[in-house]
Amino acid sequence: MGLHLAPGGLPKSRHLFLWTAKEKFRMHTTTSCPFCSPPADVIVAKNALCYARKDRYPVAKGHLLVIPFRHVPDFFSLTNEEKYAIMTLVDECKLVIEENSNPAGYNIGFNVGTAAGQTVMHCHCHVIPRYRGDTDNPRGGVRGVIPHKREY
């Protein structure tokens, strides 16, 4: 994908240029972002700065995403107000999930950058309910992203 600049070196249109450690600039238009401008019928909870929706590729029943309305690439690009709004909505997501199921625990977190598994470069927080028996050995929780480090 070529880099098209307007006079003066500014990007044309509404392009965001995102930097990752292992790649050069990556162009992404906010009009093609799956998290920008969500349809009202996918929103399960919201506040002034963010909304929650079901994950399109859930890893567990009830898996939700909490997403800021503002298009920012990752957690470290959020304002303190947005961070607070996301965490407040995480609490609401727990209530939404527990209306329909009875999880035994939760994994909550952000993937920041492609090296950490982020595939959509619009910040989002995973709220993943966990159920007894959903994995043979849950010990280590999020440490399992690097399998040989999970056991300790």
Instruction: Answer yes or no: 126 catalytic.
Output: no
- CA–CA dist 54, 42 (Å, integer): 7
| CA nearest to 135, candidates 56, 55, 58, 60 | 60
Annotated catalytic residue: which of 63, 122, 124, 126? Answer: 124
Dihedral of the alpha carbons of 109, 114, 116, 119, in degrees to the nearest 10: 40
Which residues are 129's β-sheet partners?
A: 106
Contacts of 30 (CB under 8 A, 6+ apart): 14, 16, 36, 71
Query: Which residues are the active-site residues?
Result: 124
